[in-house]
Amino acid sequence: MAATEVVEAARAGGTAPRRRRWSPAPRRTPYAFMVPATVLFTAVFLVPLGYTVYLSTQKTQIQGLGLGRGARRQVFTGFGDYTGVLHDSEFWHSVLRALLYGCVLIPVMLGLAALFALILDAQRVRFQRFGRIAIFLPYAVPTLIGSILWGMMYLPSVSPFVSVMHTLFGTTSVNFFGAHAVYLSIANIGVWGGTGFNMMVLYTALRSLPQEVYEAARIDGSGEFQIAWRIKLPMIRPSVIMTAIFSTIATLQVFNEPYTIHTMSAGAVSSTWTPLMTIYHDTYTGDDVFAGSAESIVIAVLMFLVSIAVLRLTNRQTFGGESQ
């Protein structure tokens, strides 16, 4: 309202309209909704991470014979534990084994997941609902249970594969726990359990694509294979990148599969075969929680760096091999 109108209203005996007072409540409401998630994130992630970093800078100092109450005490050691981890050859061997395991697991698992997703997304495929359930069902089985089941099938005395090989080829010399075959044996468990989840992610991305694009491609004379390779896969590329990053992180965190094979194979897989097995061995068997904490931080940094590398690589590449 202009100043002249206010003066005229006052002369006429009226009152000028009051301005609405500003309230900070609407702007604070979104932050109030963020409080539970922030508290939960801090409690289950930041606090344990900070405590792990703190433990990684400590060590146990023993005085005398170490028999009295004050003979053992926790002292600050700086980066001494990290120096020990960086010079630990067995730890880096476990990292290399995990990366080799990932090189076997990730391409096969994501390749099968993309293949199954494309097949289930095709128009002429029958029993799509049954196919989705059947492929996804292994993911619903706990990893430990699946590892035990596959470990039993790998044992020569009860393995059905040995019987099949003996029937077909007349040989029983099948060793699933050999120095090189064990990578395939453990990766097979991961492929069996993880393909269904990744398939559902890619299948959901395919179902969200516009059907008009497919119809235009068919009018232009494209077949189902050309539509799948040149249209569907490039359009769900963000989902493929996401599954590749998650699979890479899971590779460095693998524990249940190799640890189960370790307990069932009588030494074919060592107790420090993967980084997490090394951390578990040093923390509990070796009773050195400080070294285990330093190894955990190093693995976390490695997972971050490898994830960034995978993200950069997949962002530069397309399914046709050309950079965008």
Q: Which run of H or E residues covers position 119?
A: helix 89-121
- Residue 62 CA, chain-centre distance (Å), reads 40
* Rounded CA separation 113/139 (Å): 12
Q: Which run of H or E residues covers position 298?
A: helix 289-316
Q: Which CATH architecture has domain 88-316?
A: Orthogonal Bundle (1.10)
The whole-number pLDDT of residue 8 equals 57
The alpha carbons of the chain give a radius of gyration, in whole angstroms, of 29
Q: Which of 297, 296, 265, 301 is nearest to 281 (CA)?
A: 296
Q: Could you read off the pLDDT tens digit of each residue along the chain, which spans 324 residues?
A: 555 554 555 555 555 555 556 555 567 788 888 999 999 999 999 999 999 999 999 888 776 555 555 567 788 888 888 999 999 999 999 999 999 999 999 999 999 999 999 999 887 777 888 888 999 999 999 999 999 999 989 888 888 887 787 777 776 677 888 888 899 999 999 999 999 999 999 999 999 988 888 888 888 888 888 888 889 999 999 899 899 989 988 998 999 999 999 988 777 889 999 999 999 999 988 778 999 999 999 999 998 998 888 888 777 654 444 444
Q: Which run of H or E residues covers position 140?
A: helix 128-140
Question: Which ranges of 12-77 would DSSP assign to H, the alpha helix?
Answer: 25-41, 47-55
The whole-number pLDDT of residue 117 equals 94
Residue type, 182: V
The whole-number pLDDT of residue 181 equals 87
* Rounded CA separation 206/213 (Å): 12
Helices 89-121 + 237-252 axis angle, to 10 = 150
With beta carbons less than 8 A apart as the criterion, state whether 199 and 119 touch: no
User: What is the residue extent of each domain of the chain?
Assistant: 88-316
With beta carbons less than 8 A apart as the criterion, state whether 290 and 76 touch: no
What is the CB-side half-sphere exposure of residue 55 using CA atoms within 13 A? Answer: 17
